[in-house]
Amino acid sequence: MAIRKKEILTHPWGCVHDEHSRILILGSFPSPKSRQNGFYYGHTQNLFWRMLALVLNKPEPSADRVSKTAFLLQNQIALWDVLYSCEISGADDNTITNPIANDFSTLFKKATIKAVFTTGKKATALFKKLCSEIYGFEPFYLPSTSPANRAMQKSEEFLTQWRKINEFLA
């Protein structure tokens, strides 16, 4: 197995949100596949969009960026990542060093965010370390929808955690 070299990367997109957004879902940083495909959770084997549609009891959006953006906004969801930039090797969050958080101040001024959800342990740890005190939010952990987390995704606990989203969208 080849060892991937770490790259210093800057986040390629802004936050998806509008003034009606009520929850914010954050990953850590876009994977190489997501960056290649031009939008969040762009790896075809990532279950993010399927899981979100399931817990909202809505049809899954089409694969294109426009459909996914509309899906988020229609459901009062803001989507972004914790990090603006970092050093990372491939898609392995465990290799992240030199993290710099996104500036969430404009988002929190524009939208009435009731809760912040973080997908995966690394996103949760990064938000707690870099953002919680500044913005006054303790994140709700959501298990990762990455293909690397398949064992957890088959458990009832996985779905239970993701269903917490609905408590803040009522």
* pTM of the entire predicted model: 0.94
- Residue 11's pLDDT band, with cuts at 50, 70 and 90, is very high
The CATH topology of domain 8-168 is Uracil-DNA Glycosylase, subunit E (3.40.470)
State the pLDDT confidence band at 91, using cuts at 50, 70 and 90.
confident
Alpha helices by DSSP H, 15-169: 32-37, 48-56, 65-74, 105-110, 121-130, 132-135, 150-153, 156-163
Residues 6+ apart with CB under 8 A from 101: 82, 83, 84, 126, 127, 130, 131
165: DSSP letter: G
* Residue 23 burial (C-beta neighbours within 10 Å; 0-12, 13-18, 19+): buried
What confidence score (pLDDT) does residue 90 get? 87
Bigger pLDDT: 159 vs 70:
70
The confidence band for 87, taking pLDDT boundaries of 50, 70 and 90, is very high
Measured between alpha carbons, how far is 155 from 67 in angstroms, rounded to an integer? 29
Cβ distance 27 to 120 under 8 Å? yes
